[in-house]
């Protein structure tokens, strides 16, 4: 059948009688062995230059149980046949379609005219693509079925559920969509553009918390620090007091990340975030070059504006002030 359509050859059953066609359709509805051999095609044209108008299939058999209706139906309409009917009946005034369907737009209007349904305007626009990303539902379905992802809400998936689970806000998604406009140019975008939009939304309201990598974290002894741990309330967001406060433990034994520790120079003055300045007095390094310990001296009178390094730190874990372990997942592209 496909070969005949491409070559503009009429099917030998094109001029079958109405009665003969209805008999075949009843067999299709029943899902009989004979019915499975047939499909129903719209009698449009045999050799139209637009191949989408060459007697397209509008009904096919499918004996697999439906997730809602079970095995009640054995025959189903094609997408091209169902869409114009549903759009018209349900009151759609403008059908927004990507321009990959442009060749099918005349077919869409033919269905509505042939059935005497209310007209629907078609507004087509270009498809928006993202690098290293598949947007085809059929191809994404394979990832789910083959177990490459956890499901349709996997944070690496370009589905609404997926990006919402990854942290996308509805407001940012809406703003991004409106900013694109109905362009006719095919666009391939970086994901950074949409996540930048999301950051603008959440940055003013996201509470700030600290964490450091557990692996090779470096213990630091603070000279001039409190004799016993002190707990102070500091803002969760320095520019938005409405976010509230968090409790921070200050002690003479803290932890910093290995990468920060490696960068410290002898006698260098650095800033401990939300505490003040401190001077690096000594640093212990093992044979492999890993920093295993540091001594600092508090210099709270120092000017944080003059230091090059602003260091994230945490008070060392104790039974009275335990540290919470957090697992951070950094997702890359599914396809590279």
- Reported as a single tens digit per residue, the pLDDT across 158-181 is 999 999 999 999 999 999 988 887
Q: Where are the alpha helices (DSSP H) in 134-185?
A: 137-145, 160-166, 170-180
| Interacting residues of 58 by C-beta distance below 8 A, sequence separation 6+ | 40, 41, 42, 77, 78, 80, 81
pLDDT digits (tens, 9 = 90+) for 18-69: 999 999 999 999 999 999 999 999 999 999 999 999 999 999 999 999 999 9
Q: Is 257 helix (H, G, I), strand (E, B) or coil?
A: coil
Rg (C-alpha) for the chain, rounded Å, is: 33
Give the span between the Cα atoms of 53 and 108, in whole angstroms.
Answer: 10
* Strand residues in 62-157 grouped as ranges (E): 75-77, 94-98, 121-125, 128-130
Separation of alpha carbons 56 and 49, rounded Å: 14
Structure tokens, 223: 């000279």
Say if pTM beats, i.e. exceeds, 0.75: no
Which residue has 């349709």 as its token pair?
A: 152
Q: Could you list the pLDDT tens digit for every one of the 336 residues in the chain?
A: 989 999 999 999 999 999 999 999 999 999 999 999 999 999 999 999 999 999 999 999 999 999 999 999 999 999 999 999 999 999 999 999 988 889 999 999 999 999 999 999 999 888 888 988 988 888 999 999 999 999 999 999 999 999 999 999 999 999 998 888 777 888 888 999 899 999 999 999 999 999 999 999 999 999 999 999 999 999 999 999 999 999 999 999 999 999 999 999 999 999 999 999 999 999 999 999 999 999 999 999 999 999 999 999 999 999 999 999 999 988 888 887
What CA–CA distance (Å, rounded) separates 311 from 218? Answer: 13
What is the tens place of the pLDDT at every residue in 66-92? 999 999 999 999 999 999 999 999 999
Percent over 90 (pLDDT), the chain: 87
pLDDT value at residue 125? 87
With 0-12 / 13-18 / 19 or more C-beta atoms within 10 angstroms meaning exposed / middle / buried, residue 188 is: exposed
């Amino acid at each position: 059948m496909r070969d005949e359509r491409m070559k503009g050859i009429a099917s030998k059953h094109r001029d079958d009688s109405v009665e003969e066609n209805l008999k075949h359709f009843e067999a299709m509805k029943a899902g009989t062995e004979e019915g499975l051999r047939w499909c129903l095609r719209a009698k449009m044209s045999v050799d139209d230059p637009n191949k989408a108008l060459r007697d397209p299939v509008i009904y096919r058999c499918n004996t697999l149980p439906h997730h809602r209706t079970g095995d009640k139906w054995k025959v189903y309409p094609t997408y091209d046949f169902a869409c114009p009917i549903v759009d018209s009946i349900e009151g759609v005034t403008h059908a927004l379609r990507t321009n990959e369907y442009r060749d099918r737009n005349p077919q869409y209007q033919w269905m509505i005219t042939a059935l005497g349904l209310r007209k629907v305007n078609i507004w087509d626009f270009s498809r928006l693509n993202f690098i290293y990303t598949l947007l085809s539902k059929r191809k994404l379905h394979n990832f789910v079925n083959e177990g490459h992802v956890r499901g349709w809400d996997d944070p690496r998936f370009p589905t609404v559920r997926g990006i919402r689970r990854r942290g996308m806000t509805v407001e940012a998604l809406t703003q991004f969509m409106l900013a694109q406009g109905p362009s006719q140019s095919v666009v391939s975008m970086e994901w950074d553009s949409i996540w930048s939009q999301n950051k603008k939304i959440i940055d003013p309201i996201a509470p700030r918390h600290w964490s450091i990598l557990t692996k090779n974290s470096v213990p630091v002894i603070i000279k001039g620090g409190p004799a016993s741990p002190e707990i102070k309330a500091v803002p969760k967001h320095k520019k938005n007091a409405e976010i509230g406060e968090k409790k921070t433990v200050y002690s003479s034994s803290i932890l910093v990340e290995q990468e920060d520790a490696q960068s410290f120079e002898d006698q260098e003055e650095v800033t401990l975030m939300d505490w003040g300045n401190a001077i690096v007095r000594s640093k212990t390094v093992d044979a492999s070059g890993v920093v295993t310990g540091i001594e600092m001296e508090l210099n709270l009178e120092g000017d944080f504006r003059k230091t090059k390094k602003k260091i994230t730190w945490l008070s060392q874990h104790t039974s009275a002030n335990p540290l919470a372990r957090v697992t951070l997942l950094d997702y890359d592209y599914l396809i590279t």
